[in-house]
């Protein structure tokens, strides 16, 4: 067993800390999906045309098709895009609901932090 395994539970959380609230875990997963510059670039490409075939995306990023597909899978798992396969062609589409939820959850989270700080400062 590695040192890393000894520090984390079965779900990858630090053993010294309680698991995060479900809404924070979802928010963290979405931020993690946004943490790679290529994934941000993919979202920008898709924002120009919300529906793109994967080969169109591959031709616009400096990576192999298989690597780009992995990035698309991360974005899809985070709920930021949807993937549809038609025969041998896979197309990606921005998930407007997922993006709106990310925006709203981020705003709520950051406002709660700011309010907490203001309350502490007022004491």
Report the pLDDT value the prediction gives residue 122, as an integer from 0 to 100. 75
Domains detected in the chain: 19-122 (1.10.10.10)
* Amino acid 114: pLDDT: 87
Concatenated DSSP letters of 46-110:
HHHSSEEEHHHHHTTSSS-HHHHHHHHHHHHHTTSEEEEEETTEEEEEE-HHHHHHHHHHHHHHH
Which percentage of the chain shows pLDDT scores above 90? 59
Mean of pLDDT over the chain: 86
**Confidence band, pLDDT 50/70/90 cuts, at residue 121:** confident
Segment 13-71, tens digit of pLDDT: 566 677 778 888 899 999 999 999 999 999 999 998 867 888 999 999 999 999 999 99
- pLDDT for the residue 116: 81
Mean pLDDT of all residues in 105-123 = 83
Q: What is the pLDDT of residue 11?
A: 60
Longest dimension (CA), the chain: 63
pLDDT recorded at residue 27 = 92
Average pLDDT over residues 102-123: 84
113 band by pLDDT with thresholds 50, 70 and 90 = confident
């Amino acid at each position: 067993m590695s040192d890393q395994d000894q520090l984390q539970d079965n779900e990858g959380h630090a053993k010294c800390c309680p698991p995060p609230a479900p809404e924070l875990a979802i928010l963290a997963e979405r931020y993690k999906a946004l943490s790679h510059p290529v994934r941000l670039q993919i979202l920008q490409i898709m924002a120009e045309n919300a529906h793109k075939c994967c080969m169109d995306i591959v031709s616009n990023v400096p990576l192999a098709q298989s690597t780009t597909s992995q990035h698309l899978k991360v974005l899809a798992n985070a709920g930021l895009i949807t993937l549809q396969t038609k025969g041998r062609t896979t197309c990606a589409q921005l998930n407007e609901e997922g993006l709106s939820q990310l925006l709203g959850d981020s705003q709520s989270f950051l406002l709660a932090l700011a309010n907490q700080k203001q309350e502490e400062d007022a004491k």
